[in-house]
Amino acid sequence: MPTRIKKAMLLAAGYGTRLKPLTDHTPKPLVPVAGRPMIEYALDKLRVYGIEEIVINVSHLKAQLVNYFAAEKNLRVTISEEAEPLETGGGLKQAAPFLGDEPVFAINSDILWTDDSDTALNRLAQTWDDAKMDFLLLAQSKSRAVGHDKGEDHLFIKPENTLGWSNADAPYIISGIGIFHPRVLREAPDGKFSVKILWLKALAQSRLFCLPHHGRWFQTGTLDDIRKTEEALKQLPL
């Protein structure tokens, strides 16, 4: 029976340094893209899926995000505060007391995506196998991605752990969207660290899997990325 994901973690605590000067006065998740705070696009997808609760980590200009989510009426929102940004892995570990003991969506707040007939979140949930997975990461074909930096994606997305690998769509990048089980945080370090530490451990145990995305994908981490995304959105309904 397919897994029903009840909770999502939104990563929203970073400084957004590549979006300066906008992020001098506005936290990155609230920077507008096509007239809407960028984080709203992920929230829309979660609402459509039927998510019940969101945990969001905040740090830089956190009062604005706390006030923003105080007005949320359709979702239960738990705020995980960080005195300073703890990076992706540290943010998850800090939020561990709020995540429970069931699989959770984890989504970067600067990610926008389109879906085909079956949504990415549905496909991830339907593919999740708790007995053999600790992470299931959505992979995006790099040729159809807007706003991707050079990274170490090739370390994690391989033919042998990617369900539905296509040579025509490779190379793939990590999309910043996925499912993970909070059990991976029990022995995770405290303080700042990248989630890649947890990915590498899961990969070594053959418990990290990837699922190719079938739609379009945008990362709005720089001013140029926002410009390109806004141009594309004029032709692509989210």
The DSSP code for 222 is S
Please determine, for residue 3, whether its predicted confidence score (pLDDT) is greater than 90: no
pTM attached to this predicted model:
0.94
Please determine, for residue 236, whether its predicted confidence score (pLDDT) is greater than 80: no
Please determine, for residue 90, whether its predicted confidence score (pLDDT) is greater than 90: yes
Q: Is residue 1 in some structural domain?
A: no
Domains contained in the chain, number: 1
* Pair 163, 127: CB distance under 8 Å: yes
Q: Is residue 66 in some structural domain?
A: yes
CATH number at residue 108: 3.90.550.10
Q: Is residue 47 in some structural domain?
A: yes
The alpha-helical segments, DSSP class H, found in the chain are 39-49, 62-70, 87-99, 120-127, 196-204, 223-233
* pLDDT-derived band at 213, boundaries 50, 70, 90: very high
CA R_g for the chain: 17
Copy the structure tokens of residue 230: 């806004």
Query: What mean pLDDT is predicted for residues 136-143?
Result: 95
The pLDDT value given to residue 154: 86
State which residues form the domain around 207: 7-233
CA distance linking residue 236 with residue 218, whole number of Å:
12
